[in-house]
Amino acid sequence: MSGTENAGLQAIPNPEKATLEGKNKFLGFWFFLGGETVLFGTLFATFLALRDKVASGPSAHELFSLPLTFLSTIILLTSSLTSVFAILAMKDYKAGAMRLWFWITVLLGLAFLGLEIYEFHEYLGEHFGFTTSAFSSAFYTLVGTHGCHVLFGVLWISELMLQSYKKGITTVTAPKYYVAALYWHFIDVVWVFIFTVVYLLGILGG
């Protein structure tokens, strides 16, 4: 049913798709991302419907800071690039390089999360909490869900890299690294939409 005895056979190109299991993981994960797209789509639609329902609380215009958000965006976009380098290294069976690029990705992800926690903390100080208004509930849910996804991705890539010291790059482990990178790209794309629909529209749209 599977071909697991390939460790060390570095001649096999595209190790992430070399076995049936790998192909299945690859396809299955793309489908999963399809479902996640609809999930975030629903969160976005709700946010758009509620974005000016500020009750007695602050509005987007009053809260958001373009420089901070811009910095977060650069960090996350760069982390996506580093994950690309990681996978390129993986395809060449360069475990050390792959790990280096993935660890940088993790660090950038942590930096993103740190900035987000700082941002939320500032908002709480300005009396913009989860229960303040419909807008606030929608904001924290959308951006918070994305943040949870980033956190999960950071943990996932970390544990995979820790395992990779022992297991290396094989036709069994390669699909896992590949799928984690796909996930990371996905949450990066979602962030681009958040940046545009939530922050830019909020600050500039008024």
Q: State which amino acid sits at residue 86.
A: A
Minimum separation from the CB atom of position 105 to other proteins (A): 18
Closest CA to 187 of 60, 32, 22: 32
Give Cβ neighbours of residue 22 (< 8 Å, ≥ 6 apart).
15, 16, 171, 174, 175
Nearer to other proteins, 70 or 130 (CB): 130
Q: Which of 15, 16, 19, 43 binds other proteins (CB under 8 A)?
A: 43
Size, binding site for other proteins by CB under 8 A:
39
Q: Count of alpha carbons within 13 Å of 36, Cβ hemisphere only?
A: 18
Using CB under 8 A as the binding rule, whether residue 14 contacts other proteins is answered as no
Stretch in the footprint of other proteins (CB under 8 A) among 6-14, 34-42, 67-75, 190-198: 34-42
- Kindly state the tokens that stand for 136: 């606030």
Using CB under 8 A as the binding rule, whether residue 130 contacts other proteins is answered as yes
57, 128 Cβ separation under 8 angstroms: yes
Stretch in the footprint of other proteins (CB under 8 A) among 27-35, 74-82, 95-103, 107-115: 27-35
Q: Which of 133, 146, 149, 202 binds other proteins (CB under 8 A)?
A: 133
Q: Kind and range of the H or E element at 175?
A: helix 173-194
Closest CA to 150 of 24, 40, 59, 31: 40
Q: Which residues bind other proteins (CB under 8 A)?
A: 1-2, 4, 20, 23-24, 27-28, 31-32, 34-36, 38-39, 42-43, 46, 49-50, 53-55, 130-138, 141, 155, 159-160, 163, 172, 176
